[in-house]
Chains A and B, each alone.
Chain A
């Protein structure tokens, strides 16, 4: 991978995606076997900057960094000088002066991580920017699918729920499209982004039809602020029409897997019984793959930085 940052799936080539997944697969094995891991990030400083609350993603990045030997520092940006009116660029310039090696950034506005990356010298990983992209989530989803289905191409994959407001959906749509899968988007028209017909995906408003013969079902979290009658009439109508239950799931292919980026709303977008059925749901595995994928991304970014530095010295 020649890139300096991981800002989104959009700029990646399919072979770069495969490279990340291959390395992540190795990390997944060694994480399970507790085998010793090469300290590739030894002496590196990693700063996690989360301008938006997150528990699991932040923890996952922290563990990934520590397993590779980095010194990890968490900054809760909600409590920092951002509230004193400092602009994002000022914050970036200030941090840059401390010479970190890696910044992991989550921000509530689309494009904010991109803007920050222009102002710093270190590698930047996008941990979610607004509704735009969440690349490591798409990569961990891809790895989970590949391990479970044995391949990452020519699969029928349904992404269900609040497509319009989801960065997870956007990154997955791009990644799975690049890997040549057939993608269906399932959800009410009010939760579909504009221009959706131009994305090369099939759009379904009836979930039973949308799930017919799919290999993979990706459920999305419905944010509580969307439930107030603005986008959908009510939570119970949403659950009735778009909540994943056994009846709707029966339309999918035998052995289809169920995914969810978490945290789940049981009884809103997914039935508790399915979420906890380990023969169908791979939600736990997704969390596990999250650490492996993030380790792989960090390793590759740091390696390419070192190579670039060496080339510069020659």
Chain B
């Protein structure tokens, strides 16, 4: 394999929290310390950062390949600068046995042009009754365990699953939410939801769910990552757990960082996500929590939905949005608003998720995998959803002005995308 040296480039290093003009060499799929290479690439002052590690994208295989496949998700990820995609198990059927896991992994291996890891369900069928074969699944390559938005309500079941998982050192990803409060809700309680008369859930439901999960973590010693924290009320609990030394991290979805409940406007179902969009007050608090490091990761929560499930009255519409390709341009809004620096963004997009999953990527250090993105943070464009590479086009950013695009994506040193 030939080596490549990218010169005249701003290196965004989340480990050192610096941006420096310099060059970087890729050799044999890894970042090398060498000063010379077979090929030189003048980046003309653009930016190079570790590729995004996205925890929790839904690929829809097995079961709903008309919405997304490993092939289309991989293309979308590469175009969006996501070099590692961590697939959710909330497929049809759920990835809850070594057999389904092997199927999904095989499909990913054959079709996905970026790295792909598979998460497995924590309980069989994500029904919250019996734990899955956590050991077998781990052997087959499951990188984390989650029932996604199907919250386990039986505390006995959850405590046993967490206890069993913790002896194996497995990472558990929880969805902090009280399902009895949030049942049927598609907005956040408050004036807007009342004006539009959309069934709503109090932000307290997230705190209740998180407090319960954290008590369980304290009890069982499990390794826990909250998939999406989106409300002010949940932050003190998270802060307390971290101060206490529990093995706890938290993430946020790109939509909760960049949109608020008013974006739903006249019942625009493409803005229906789970949990529902929050108030602007909540959003700003989340941006601050991300800057301070209280919230560790940003994910896409990529959830493809076809037109049939979105083009219906708001209450009946399916939740979720595609986001692999819009994750970076949307996140760059926070950079342009001077709320987060580029190294802070990539700490949450690349470094922290990689670390949490035990991967060596997400860094610019010598010896790390050459999973890299070359991007221009300033290039403006208007998003056209029909140009997305995902099979599903349900993005809330359609027609919006965005700033910042991926110019090239490298996975293990190989260029998988070029604008």
The chain A residues found within 8 Å of chain B, CB to CB, are 10, 87-89, 107, 109-112, 114-115, 130-133, 164, 167, 170, 193-196, 198-199
Contact = CB atoms under 8 A, between A and B. Distances in A.
Given A195-B192, A196-B194, 11 more contacts: A88-B313, A109-B316, A110-B196, A110-B267, A114-B267, A115-B311, A130-B313, A132-B197, A167-B197, A194-B189, A195-B190
A88 to B, nearest CB: 6
Given A194-B190, A195-B193, A198-B191, A111 B266 contact: yes
Given A87-B308, A88-B312, A110 B191 contact: no
A193 B315 CA distance: 17
B312 A87 contact: yes
A170 B267 contact: no
21 contacts: A88-B313, A89-B311, A89-B312, A109-B313, A110-B313, A111-B196, A111-B267, A115-B311, A115-B313, A130-B197, A131-B197, A132-B197, A133-B197, A193-B193, A193-B194, A193-B197, A194-B194, A194-B200, A195-B189, A195-B190, A199-B191
A159 B378 CA distance: 53
Given A130-B197, A170-B197, A194-B190, A87 B311 contact: yes
B194 A110 contact: no
Contacts of B357: none
A107 B190 contact: no
B185 to A, nearest CB: 11
B314 interface: yes
B241 interface: no
A160 to B, nearest CB: 17
Contacts of A89: 311-312
Contacts of A195: 189-194
B204 to A, nearest CB: 11
A115 B315 CA distance: 12
A43 B15 CA distance: 74
Interface string B313-333: 111100000000000000000
Nearest to A85: B308
Nearest to A196: B194
Contacts of B194: 164, 170, 193-196, 199
B198 interface: yes
A193 B189 CA distance: 8
Contacts of A112: 313
Interface string B66-101: 000000000000000000000000000000000000
B419 interface: no
Contacts of B202: 194
A190 to B, nearest CB: 13
Nearest to A132: B197
Interface of B: 189-198, 200, 202, 266-267, 308, 311-316
Nearest to B264: A111
Contacts of B312: 87-89, 115
Contacts of A194: 189-191, 193-194, 200, 202
Contacts of A130: 197, 313, 315
Contacts of B191: 194-195, 198-199
B76 to A, nearest CB: 26
B49 to A, nearest CB: 40
Contacts of A132: 196-197
A110 B198 CA distance: 7
Contacts of B192: 195
A115 B189 CA distance: 22
Contacts of B316: 109
Contacts of A114: 266-267
A230 B191 CA distance: 23
Contacts of A196: 194
Contact of B314 (A110, A133, A164, A170): A110
B310 to A, nearest CB: 10
B200 A111 contact: no
Nearest to A198: B191
Q: Which of B189, B202, B314 has the most CB of A within 10 A?
A: B314
Q: Which of B194, B196, B311, B313 has the most CB of A within 10 A?
A: B313
A37 B198 CA distance: 41
A109 B314 contact: yes
A107 B193 contact: no
Contacts of A109: 313-316
Contacts of A115: 267, 311-314
User: 7 closest pairs, A vs B, by CB?
Assistant: A111-B267, A195-B191, A193-B194, A194-B189, A131-B197, A109-B313, A112-B313
A97 B394 CA distance: 27
A87 B198 CA distance: 20
Contacts of B200: 194
Contacts of B198: 110-111
Contacts of B189: 194-195
Given A87-B308, A194-B200, A194-B202, A111 B313 contact: yes
Contacts of A167: 197
A186 to B, nearest CB: 17
A111 B193 CA distance: 12
B272 to A, nearest CB: 11
Nearest to B189: A194
Nearest to B311: A89
Nearest to A167: B197
A195 B267 CA distance: 19
Q: Which of A110, A114, A170, A199 has the most CB of B within 10 A?
A: A110
Nearest to A7: B266
A170 B313 CA distance: 19
Contacts of B193: 193-195
A178 to B, nearest CB: 14
A10 B189 CA distance: 20
Contacts of A107: 313
A114 to B, nearest CB: 6
A195 B311 CA distance: 28
Contacts of A10: 195
A190 B197 CA distance: 15
A114 B189 CA distance: 22
Given A115-B313, A130-B315, A110 B197 contact: yes
Contacts of A110: 196-198, 267, 313-315
Q: Which of A109, A111, A131, A167 has the most CB of B within 10 A?
A: A111
Contacts of B315: 109-111, 130
A10 B266 CA distance: 11
Contacts of A170: 194-195, 197
Nearest to A116: B313
B266 to A, nearest CB: 6
